[in-house]
Chains A and B, each alone.
Chain A
Amino acid sequence: MELYKKTASELSGLLQKKEISSVELTKDILARTESVEKKVQGYITLTAEDALKSAAVVDSKRAAGENLGALAGIPVAIKDNICTKGTLTTCASKMLFNFIPPYHATVIEKLLAQNVILTGKTNMDEFAMGSSCENSAMHPTYNPHDLNCVPGGSSGGSAAVVAAGEVPLSLGSDTGGSIRQPAAFCGVVGLKPTYGAVSRYGLVAFASSLDQIGPFGRTVEDTAMLFDAITGHDPHHDSTSIKTSFEGQTHANLNSDMRGIKIGLPKEYFGEGISAEVRKHVLAASTSIKTSFEGQTHANLNSDMRGIKIGLPKEYFGEGISAEVRKHVLAAADMYRAMGAEILEISLPLSEYALPVYYILSSAEASSNLARFDGVKYGYRSPNFDRHDLTIRRREIRLSLSEFRST
Chain B
Amino acid sequence: MTIETREIEHIASLAHLDVNGAGFERLAQDMQEIVAMVNQLQQLDLDLTADTLDINHKNAFREDIAVLEYTPDQLIAPNAPDFRAGGVVVPRVVE
A353 & B40 in contact (Cβ 8 Å cutoff): yes
- From residue A189, how far is it (CB to closest CB) to chain B in Å? 28
A235 & B62 in contact (Cβ 8 Å cutoff): yes
A45 on the B face (CB < 8 A):
no
Across chains A and B, the number of contacting residue pairs, with CB separation under 8 Å, is 80
Q: A353-B44, A356-B40, A360-B38 are in contact. Are A376 and B90 (CB under 8 A)?
A: yes
Which interface class (under 10, 10 to 19, 20 to 34, 35 or more) fits A? 35 or more
Q: A394-B18, A402-B23 are in contact. Are A242 and B30 (CB under 8 A)?
A: no
- From residue B11, how far is it (CB to closest CB) to chain A in Å? 9
The 8 Å CB contact of B91, one of A235, A377, A387, is A387
A240 & B70 in contact (Cβ 8 Å cutoff): no
B41 on the A face (CB < 8 A):
yes
A99 & B79 in contact (Cβ 8 Å cutoff): yes
Contact with B along A366-407 (1 / 0, CB 8 A): 000000000111110100010101111011000011100000
Contact with B along A224-258 (1 / 0, CB 8 A): 00000000000110011110000000000000000
What's the dominant secondary structure at chain A's contact region?
Answer: loop
- From residue A346, how far is it (CB to closest CB) to chain B in Å? 14
B81 on the A face (CB < 8 A):
yes
The 8 Å CB contact of B79, one of A236, A379, A394, A402, is A379
What's the dominant secondary structure at chain B's contact region?
Answer: loop
A356 & B81 in contact (Cβ 8 Å cutoff): no
B6 on the A face (CB < 8 A):
no
B18 & A377 in contact (Cβ 8 Å cutoff): no
Contact with A along B9-26 (1 / 0, CB 8 A): 000000111110001001
Roughly how many angstroms separate A361 CA and B27 CA in the complex, as a whole number?
20
B27 & A239 in contact (Cβ 8 Å cutoff): no
Residues of B within 8 A of A360 (CB): 38
B74 on the A face (CB < 8 A):
yes
The 8 Å CB contact of A356, one of B16, B37, B88, is B37
Cβ-closest 7 pairs across A and B:
A378-B79, A390-B16, A381-B81, A391-B18, A387-B93, A356-B38, A385-B91
